[in-house]
Amino acid sequence: MIICLCRGVSDRIVHQAIGDGARSLPDLQRCGIADQCGGCHDFLRKLLASPPPGPVHAPAVVPSPA
């Protein structure tokens, strides 16, 4: 689903940015999300305040001891 119409940013990209450490609207704006009209700011604040929908990235593979 497209969240930021000005930049054509999907929810997947937003969740990835949050998973990568974005914790605020200014953090997302530094990633190039929501830095134009502001129409998506309220929805992005809700995403930032809610728990993530699940793993965004594949879990790291830890080698087993040899």
Whether the pTM exceeds 0.75: the reply is no
Coil vs helix vs strand at 28 = helix
The residue ranges of every structural domain in the chain are 2-49
Could you tell me which CATH number the domain at 2-49 has?
Answer: 1.10.10.1100
Q: Is 45 exposed, middle or buried (0-12, 13-18, 19+ CB in 10 A)?
A: middle
Strand partners, 4: 9
pLDDT in tens, 6-38: 899 999 999 999 999 999 999 999 988 988 999
Coil vs helix vs strand at 29 = helix
pLDDT at residue 57, rounded to an integer? 55
What are the residue ranges of helices labelled H in 1-66? Answer: 11-19, 25-30, 41-49
pLDDT in tens, 32-59: 898 899 999 999 999 999 876 655 555 5
Helix axes 11-19, 41-49, angle to 10 degrees: 50
